[in-house]
Homo-oligomer: A and B are copies of this chain.
Amino acid sequence: MRRLKDDFHDLVTELQEKILRQIQVYDPNGEIIADDWERKDFKGNDGGGGITRAFRGDIIENAGVNTSLIHGEVDPKFATKLGSDDSCLWACGISLIIHPKNPKIPTVHANFRMIEIGDKVWFGGGADLTPYFPYEEDFIHFHKVWKNALAPYGVYEKFKDECDKYFVNHHRNGELRGIGGFFFDHFNTGDLRQDFNFIEDISAKFIESYFPIVERRFKESWTEEDEDFQLHRRGRYVEFNLLHDRGTAFGLQSNGRTESILISLPARCKYSYKYAPKKGTPHEKMMGYYKPIDWVNFTL
């Protein structure tokens, strides 16, 4: 188990480096704020820590690519919430969010994690896309990469469905945050090494799922109206993360580092009473896509 945990930690820290290098391809002069932090556990002992990388650039307006490895005692009440009467926790993962400035490039979020509490161990993760312009071919590309990665394991439909059920703004009539992707939690087939290999395999596909879209769109121009729509949708992104996201709640409740958790929020956003895009615009069309859609079989 020790070996597996070390391997998982290596996996996420290597992925962190790779993704940061990809971001820098587009923004070689962007600013990286590098924060390595430590934490105490519930009893005041060494509780691990994390490597936070906050990015600000011209193409990628803001991004966070964080890893953490936390361990030690948690508040017993919190352990109960996680379904355990043992409050000894070990958790390791990578979490990333990329908010490009250009509204033609989607926001992306992904994370991969391994959690052990008491005698329970499981994996979780996923990746989902939040576009602001109806470039359907980009959405098909994203979903096809993940279908190709997950279908050999027989979990594509299940994990896509879980994603469509998770990133929901329930207070907005069930509207989705974006156009989905895949999501899974409490994953454990009984063979941890095999499960590790699964995570290693799929997490390696993240770059292929997203960066070709950045490459295709980053030189495109945009209008004030495009940006206004993007900023309002970013507002919905904030609503989801603060009202509904279990990851945010988990982080804030487990005495996590607030700045590393709320790095997921966009640099700028807007709210307007009863905001709606104008009729006949690409943005109105985009509004019709924030619901479960079988993108892999979508006909252009």
Q: Which residues of A are at the interface with B, using a C-beta cutoff of 8 A?
A: 33, 35, 54, 56, 62, 64, 171-172, 231, 235, 238-239, 242-243, 252, 258-259, 262-263, 265-274
Contact = CB atoms under 8 A, between A and B. Distances in A.
Contact of A172 (B172, B258, B269, B274): B258
Contact of A263 (B62, B258, B268, B273): B273
A172 B258 CA distance: 7
B265 A267 contact: no
A265 B258 contact: no
Contacts of A243: 242, 252
Contacts of A64: 273
A259 B266 CA distance: 21
Nearest to A242: B242
Total identical chains:
2
A267 to B, nearest CB: 6
Nearest to A273: B54
A262 B271 contact: yes
A215 B104 CA distance: 42
A252 B262 CA distance: 22
> What 8 A-B pairs come out closest when comparing CB atoms?
A54-B273, A242-B242, A265-B271, A171-B258, A171-B252, A242-B243, A259-B274, A268-B270
A272 B239 CA distance: 17
A82 B10 CA distance: 49
Given A238-B242, A242-B239, A270 B267 contact: yes
Nearest to A63: B273
Contacts of A266: 271
Contact of A235 (B33, B258, B263, B265): B265
A269 B259 CA distance: 17
Contact of A267 (B172, B239, B267, B272): B272
B273 A62 contact: yes
Given A171-B258, A172-B258, A272 B62 contact: yes
Contact of A239 (B62, B262, B263): B262
11 contacts: A33-B274, A54-B273, A62-B272, A239-B242, A239-B262, A259-B274, A262-B271, A267-B270, A268-B269, A268-B271, A269-B269
Contacts of A239: 242, 262
* Most chain B CB within a 10 A radius of its CB, from A231, A267, A273: A273
A24 B243 CA distance: 33
Contacts of A272: 56, 62, 267
